[in-house]
Chain A
Amino acid sequence: MQRRTLLAAAAVAPAILPAIARAQGTQKATLRLKWLAQTQFAGFYLAKARGYYEAEGIDLTINPGGPNLLTENLVATGADTFGLSGGTDSVFAAREKNLPVVCIGVSHQQTPFFFVTRADGPIRTLQDFRGKTITTWYTGANYVLLGMLAKAGLKPGDFTMQPQQVSVTPFVEGQIDVVTATKYNEFYTLMTRMGRDKLRTFVAEEQGITFPRDTLIVNETTARQKPEMVRGFLRASIKGWRDALRDQKAGVDAVMAAAPSLNRDHQEFMLVEAGKLMTAGAAAQQGLFWIDEAAIRSAHDFLREHEVIKQPIDLAKTYDGSFLAAIPAADRMA
C-alpha cells in the first residue's frame, strides 16, 4: 500500500496534465522503445505520424531507449506508460524481481538473432563449434547458444565463449570463428562487408528453441485502471504496423524523419526483416503482436532448465492476451 501511495505521489505532477487533456478527450502517454529510432519500430512512428493514437484519444510521445536503460524499470515505476522491452527473457527477469509489469503483446514471434560463421570455413555443423571462439551477447543470446550446443552434445568447456563488443569487425577479420547477429541489424553489416554467400547461419528454431522478443509491456496499475487506453494503444499500433508493412516506403520515411542520419538502405532491409519476424509462427494465423502461449512456455521452461530464472513465473498473470483479444481478428492481420 505504502509503495503505491509513494508512486502515486511521485506521479502527481505529470498526472495533472492528463487530467486536463482528458477533459478535451485525449490523455497523455509515452512509449519507451528498447533502442534508438530505427525501422525495427517503424509501425509506431507511422501510427503517430498518421494520427492513429490521437484518434484513440492518446497523445503519445515516443521515447527512444539506450544502453543501460531498462524499459521494464521505466514502465514499472510509471516513468513511461508503455514499453517495447527486450523480450520474453527480460519480462521473466523483471517479474522474478517483482517489477509489476504485464506483457500485452509480442512483436517478434521468433528468435530475432542467429549465429554466423564463414561459409568457406571449417564450421559446417554445430558439432564443429568444438574448440572454436564464439562471441555473443550476455543478455540472453548466450543461453540460446548454450542450449543449442547442448543439444549437439557440447558442454560449456568445449568452446571459448566471449562477450560480443559493439562491432562485428573482429569476425570479418577472422579473429573469431562465430559471431552473433540480429537478422535485421548486424547481419546487414556482415552482408555488406562480406557478401551473403560467404556466410553460414545457425538458427535456434532448427534446434527446437524459440525466443520471442520485442515485448509490449504496461504496468499492472495501467492494465487495471485504464484498459480502454491499453486497447486503444494496441489498435493504433497494429494499424500503424499494417500500414508500415504494406507501404514500406512510408514506414522508412516516418523513421528517417525522426533520425535523418540513418542509412536508408539498411533501414529498408531492417523493415523487411522485422516484418518477417512479426508475421512468423502463430502470428501468421492470429495476427500481429499475438502472444503465442506455447512459444512463451517453451522459452520459460528453457530458462528454468538453465537456472537463469530461479523461480517459476506465473505466465497467466505475466502475459495478458485479453487486450489483444478485444480487437477483431481481421483487424489484427498484417
Chain B
Amino acid sequence: MRGVLGGVLLILLWEGMARGFALPSYTLPAVSEILGSIWIQRASLISGGATTLLEAVVGYGLGTTIGIGLAVLITVLPWSRTALLPVVMAVNSVPVAAYSPLVLLWFGIGVSSKIVMVTLAVGFTVFLSALAGFDRVDRRSVDLLRSFGAGQAAVLWRLRLPAALPLIAAGMRVATVRSLIVAIVTEMLGANSGLGWIIYQAVVQIDFVQVWSAIFVASAISLAFFGLIGWIERRVIFWR
C-alpha cells in the first residue's frame, strides 16, 4: 500500500512539474500525455514489447542455467576453479555494452544477438551470486559432513545449496531487470523490432512522447518480470 502511495506521489510531482512549468515535451512530457500516447500506439508497443520480452526471457533462462551451472562446476571440481575463474573474471570485467558491436557483427541484427547479450549479462550476475553463496558455507561444517563420507555432490546439495539460495535468489531478481535493459540497449544499436528499436526510431523522429511511452512499457514489463521471479522464489525457498 505504501509502495502505491510513493508511486502516486511521484507521478503527481512529475505531472505537476510538467504542467506547472509548462515544460516542452522535449524536456519532460506530462505523465498523462505519455499514457495517452501509449494507448494510441498500443499495437506497435505490444508487438515491440513482445519481441523484447522474448529476447529477455530466453536469455534469462539460458543465463541463469549457465551461471548456476558454472558455479556448481567450480564448487564440485575445485581444480577447475584455478583454471576457469581468472578467464571468467577477465571476460566479465569488460562491460557488456562493449561486447555489443562484436555480438551484432557475429550474430546479426535479429533476435539471436540480443539473446546472446542477455545471456552474457544474466549469466555473470547469477554466477557471481551463486559462487558467493556456495562459498559462504562454514568450512568446519563441510569437513564434518565429509568426515561422514559425504561426496562433493552431497555437500553441495545438503549444505551449500540451502545456504546459497538467498544469494542466488537476490542475484536472479537483480538479473530480471538487467535482462530487459540489455535487450533494449542492444536493440538500440542494431535491430528491426523491439522496444529499443521503437525508442531509437522515436529519437530520430524527434518524438519524445513516444520515447517515454516505450520506456514506460519497458518499465512495466521489467516490474512484472521482477515480481514474477520474486513470487516464484518466495514459494521455492519457503517450500525448502
Contact = CB atoms under 8 A, between A and B. Distances in A.
A31 to B, nearest CB: 20
Given A93-B206, A167-B105, A162 B200 contact: no
Interface of A: 2-3, 6, 67-68, 70, 72-73, 76-77, 90, 93-94, 96-99, 138-139, 162-163, 165-167, 169-170
A163 B204 CA distance: 14
A99 B191 contact: no
Given A163-B109, A169-B105, A93 B205 contact: yes
B53 interface: no
B203 A70 contact: yes
A139 B203 CA distance: 10
Nearest to B109: A165
B190 A163 contact: yes
A90 B203 contact: no
A68 B200 contact: yes
> Interface centre among A2, A3, A77, A165, by most B CB within 10 Å?
A165
A132 to B, nearest CB: 17
B205 to A, nearest CB: 6
Contact of B192 (A2, A77, A163, A167): A163
B201 A77 contact: no
Interface of B: 21-27, 101, 104-105, 108-109, 188-192, 197, 199-201, 203-208
A165 B191 CA distance: 7
At the interface, is chain B mostly helix, strand, loop or mixed?
loop
10 contacts: A3-B21, A70-B203, A70-B204, A73-B26, A93-B204, A93-B206, A97-B26, A165-B109, A166-B190, A169-B105
B204 A167 contact: no
A3 B26 CA distance: 12
A249 to B, nearest CB: 31
Contacts of B204: 70, 90, 93, 138-139
B205 A67 contact: no
Nearest to B101: A166
A169 B104 CA distance: 11
Given A67-B189, A163-B109, A90 B21 contact: no
A163 B198 CA distance: 12
B104 A6 contact: no
Given A2-B21, A68-B203, A76 B26 contact: yes
Contacts of B191: 163
Nearest to A161: B192
Contacts of A94: 206
Contacts of B105: 166-167, 169
Given A76-B24, A97-B25, 12 more contacts: A3-B23, A68-B188, A73-B208, A77-B27, A93-B206, A94-B206, A97-B26, A97-B208, A98-B24, A162-B109, A162-B192, A166-B104
